[in-house]
Amino acid sequence: MSISSQLERSQIDQPVLSSLDYLTSGDALDFIEALKIEIASHPALKHPFLVNLANGTFKDTQSVLQDYAHQYSFYSQWFTKYLDGAISTLDNPKHVEILMHNMEEEQGIPGSLIKEELPHVEIYNLFKQAVGVSAEYSAANPPCTTVLLWRDLFLQKCSSNIKGVGVAAIGLATEGIISSIYPYIIRAIEQHTQLGEDALLFFKLHVECDDGHGEAFEAIIADIAQDISHREAIRFGVFSSLNLRQAFWDTQLSRAYALASHN
């Protein structure tokens, strides 16, 4: 079940306790379920930047997407580093094997004639090229402070030697929420620009595959959470990572308004 459906489920079923109620007692799966419901209501998953982008509210959607594509790349191009960091914190060979499969998908097949098989960083570059992020544009637009802080602090979390922080950060708080976030971008491209499939491929591919990745991470985290002493680290990894992503959206929203005033 995707993160986006957790809040709806909580409104139908019996109320679920807060994840804080499971930090020192209770079943690991109940702890994870409570976390997922809290994640579904986090502002990072329905930020005004995403909503306005999907609704075509900004004066020039493609210019906003161009800025987003460029700025987000400084975070996303480190994704294999984040995975490496999380893998380095695991001591269960089965858990390592699961994340290594994820790494193989990220690395893809360099030079493949099938675009879906390319390394994910190259697929993302197709999006950047489609929205006009040229070498000249990149040179004239340095990374914002927030995205540099985001990638540095997120890498620290993924590589933390405190068990549970890294896999929770890149699992529940990243892979587990992509299917909730990227549809906003897809809708913006499809409904408010004339961009083609190259601009959409990265996002559609991740919406299709990251639910599976999220479930794999969830299984690992549930195993780790069997030891109650790790639950606080798991929860910290989740919410500190979501807060960083929210800070990035805050900055992108401000930049989008600035673009409108300059155009």
From the list 215, 223, 217, 119, the residue with the least C-alpha distance to 170 is 217
What's the rounded Cα separation, in Å, for the pair 61 and 189? 8
Return the domain boundaries, the chain.
3-262
Amino acid at 229: S
SS3 call for 260? helix
180: tokens are 């909730």
What's the rounded Cα separation, in Å, for the pair 38 and 30? 12
Q: Which CATH superfamily is domain 3-262 in?
A: Heme oxygenase-like (1.20.910.10)
**Which residues lie closer than 8 Å to 180 by C-beta, 6 or more apart?**
2, 3, 4, 40, 45
- Given CA atoms 121, 126, 129, 135 in this order, what sign does their dihedral have? positive
Helix (H) or strand (E) holding 7: helix 6-12
From the list 76, 4, 68, 88, the residue with the least C-alpha distance to 40 is 4
pLDDT at 213: 67
Condensed to tens digits (0 to 9), the pLDDT of residues 119-161 reads 999 999 999 999 999 999 999 999 999 999 999 999 999 999 9
What's the rounded Cα separation, in Å, for the pair 232 and 182? 28
pLDDT at 17: 81
Contact 184, 54 (CB under 8 A): yes
SS3 call for 58? coil
**Which residues lie closer than 8 Å to 212 by C-beta, 6 or more apart?**
none
Condensed to tens digits (0 to 9), the pLDDT of residues 10-41 reads 444 555 589 999 999 999 999 999 999 999 99
Rounded alpha-carbon distances, angstroms, from residue 203 to 72, 127, 179, 180: 13, 9, 9, 11
Condensed to tens digits (0 to 9), the pLDDT of residues 190-239 reads 999 999 999 999 999 988 875 566 788 899 999 999 999 999 999 999 99
